[in-house]
């Protein structure tokens, strides 16, 4: 369900959905410093007024081209970055306002899986140490039962128990990502941000890791924000998908609806690049012209207009609101969804 800062746009309670996370009007601007005085001369508008929610047990896919702000959304939600503006409500608490001890308790409930498992694992630490640290940090188990927990974790992610004494370089990319997942699971979180967890892997291994995450989600009733470049990657695992472009949400919809009846021209362009046997009527591939503009000076009105195949003059002056186009389906385009 989407809520908007604009009262004219449909504001709805999460009907029938038990909300775990509600992000409202989130902005994250990174300052750019310059000049001899090293003053803030400008900002990178990495996330620019984003509103969405995630229900308990739901997996929401977050897609968009490089630089659209996906990682920044994920990191800000986990408060690895401090939001510039907006609220992040996690199970009733505004994450932005928690002090350090309060945040510690929430850290245990929210975990992240990174894109590059190798960079996120210390090469000098055996797997026992890597996972043991995660457990010790959150006071889970006793030192004597930690090995048993670690073995159980390895088994849950499909790795043999004797890997406990190995170093990260002794694993394949897919196995390392399984360790990254085990590390996130170690603290028994409710919510996981998976930031391109399979992008660094071979296509054949990608499906295995996605299937594993799907199984774990079921087993541990996990709620997930699953970030990817590619719409094909999130289709299988996501209940809903958010499409981002230049710091803004373009479209948000239940997965099936997004793939079958995409509303936004940006989503249509992304989808036209995905071979999809579900779509009976083959759409012609839409090639977007030009590069993604700079988030320092995003285009006025609709940020996508400079690359949009159906833009009109009004698109330069009207910031398109997210309008409901079908149940649970919202799109920000004055041409296809209205003003």
Ligand X SMILES: Nc1ncnc2c1ncn2[C@@H]1O[C@H](COP(=O)(O)OP(=O)(O)OP(=O)(O)O)[C@@H](O)[C@H]1O
**Positions in the binding site for ligand X (CB under 6 A):** 30, 44, 46, 64, 66-72, 229, 295
Nearer to Mg ion, 71 or 255 (CB): 71
Which residues are CB-neighbours of 284 under 8 A, at least 6 positions away? 272
Report d(CA 298, CA 294) in Å as an integer: 6
Bridge pairing between strands 223-228 and 59-63: parallel
User: Which residues ranging from 92 to 151 are in contact with Mg ion (CB under 5 A)?
Assistant: none
Nearer to ligand X, 151 or 244 (CB): 244
* Residue 75 Cβ vs ligand X, minimum distance, rounded to whole Å: 8
* Residue 139 Cβ vs Mg ion, minimum distance, rounded to whole Å: 31
Nearer to ligand X, 9 or 77 (CB): 77
Task: Please tell me whether residue 71 binds Mg ion under the rule CB under 5 A.
Answer: yes
Which of Mg ion, ligand X, none sits in contact with 295, Cβ below 5 to 8 A by type?
A: ligand X
Structural contact between residues 110 and 191, judged by C-beta atoms closer than 8 angstroms: yes
* Residue 307 Cβ vs ligand X, minimum distance, rounded to whole Å: 16
Structure tokens at 53: 């929610």
* Residue 68 Cβ vs ligand X, minimum distance, rounded to whole Å: 4
Report how far apart, in Å, the C-alpha atoms of 290 and of each of 70, 108, 293, 303, 305 are. Answer: 21, 42, 8, 13, 11
Nearer to ligand X, 67 or 132 (CB): 67
Nearer to ligand X, 65 or 328 (CB): 65
* Residue 196 Cβ vs ligand X, minimum distance, rounded to whole Å: 6
Nearer to Mg ion, 74 or 321 (CB): 74
Report d(CA 312, CA 307) in Å as an integer: 12
Which residue's C-beta sits nearest to Mg ion?
71
* Residue 64 Cβ vs ligand X, minimum distance, rounded to whole Å: 6
Nearer to ligand X, 170 or 291 (CB): 291
Which of ligand X, Mg ion, none sits in contact with 229, Cβ below 5 to 8 A by type?
A: ligand X
* Residue 199 Cβ vs Mg ion, minimum distance, rounded to whole Å: 9
User: Which residues ranging from 148 to 207 are in contact with Mg ion (CB under 5 A)?
Assistant: none
* Residue 195 Cβ vs Mg ion, minimum distance, rounded to whole Å: 6
Stretch that binds Mg ion, among 65-73, 81-89, 146-154, 300-308 (CB under 5 A): 65-73
Torsion angles phi and psi, residue 236, rounded to 5:
-65, -40
- Which pairs from 14-19 meet CB under 8 Å and 24+ separation? 14/53, 14/55, 17/53, 17/55, 17/58, 18/55, 18/56, 18/57, 19/53, 19/54, 19/55, 19/56
Nearer to Mg ion, 61 or 132 (CB): 61
Report d(CA 95, CA 103) in Å as an integer: 7
Task: Please tell me whether residue 4 binds Mg ion under the rule CB under 5 A.
Answer: no
Which residues are registered as beta bridge partners of 113? 194
Which of Mg ion, ligand X, none sits in contact with 298, Cβ below 5 to 8 A by type?
A: none
Task: Please tell me whether residue 76 binds Mg ion under the rule CB under 5 A.
Answer: no
- Can you give the binding site for Mg ion, defined by CB under 5 A? 71
């Amino acid at each position: 369900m989407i809520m908007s800062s604009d009262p004219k746009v449909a504001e709805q309670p999460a009907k029938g959905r038990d909300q775990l996370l509600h992000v409202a009007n989130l902005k994250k601007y990174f300052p750019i410093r310059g000049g001899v005085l090293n003053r803030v001369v400008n900002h990178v508008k990495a996330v620019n007024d984003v509103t969405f929610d995630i229900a308990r047990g739901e997996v929401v896919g977050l897609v968009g081209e490089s630089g659209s702000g996906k990682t920044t959304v994920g990191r800000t939600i986990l408060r690895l970055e401090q939001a510039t503006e907006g609220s992040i409500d996690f199970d009733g608490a505004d994450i932005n306002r928690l002090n350090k001890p309060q945040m510690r308790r929430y850290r245990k409930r929210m975990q992240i899986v990174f894109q590059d498992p190798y960079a996120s694992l210390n090469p000098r630490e055996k797997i026992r140490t890597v996972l043991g640290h995660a457990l010790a940090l959150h006071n889970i188990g006793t030192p004597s039962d930690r090995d048993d927990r670690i073995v159980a974790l390895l088994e849950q992610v499909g790795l043999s128990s004797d890997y406990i004494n190995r170093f990260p370089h002794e694993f394949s990319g897919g196995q390392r990502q399984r360790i990254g997942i085990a590390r996130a699971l170690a603290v028994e979180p409710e919510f996981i941000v998976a930031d391109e967890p399979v992008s660094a892997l071979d296509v054949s291994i990608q499906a295995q890791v996605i299937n594993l995450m799907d199984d774990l989600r079921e087993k541990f009733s996990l709620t997930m924000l699953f970030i990817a470049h590619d719409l094909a990657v999130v289709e299988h695992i996501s209940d809903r998908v958010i499409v981002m472009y230049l710091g803004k949400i373009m479209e948000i919809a239940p997965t099936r609806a997004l793939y079958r009846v995409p509303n936004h021209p940006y989503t249509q362009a992304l989808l036209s690049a995905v071979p999809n046997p579900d779509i009976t009527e083959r759409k012609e591939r839409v090639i977007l012209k030009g590069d993604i503009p700079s988030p320092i000076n995003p285009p006025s009105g609709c940020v996508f207009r400079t690359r949009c195949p159906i833009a009109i003059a009004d698109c330069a002056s009207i910031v398109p609101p997210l309008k409901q186009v079908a149940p649970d389906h919202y799109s920000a385009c004055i041409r296809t969804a209205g003003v």
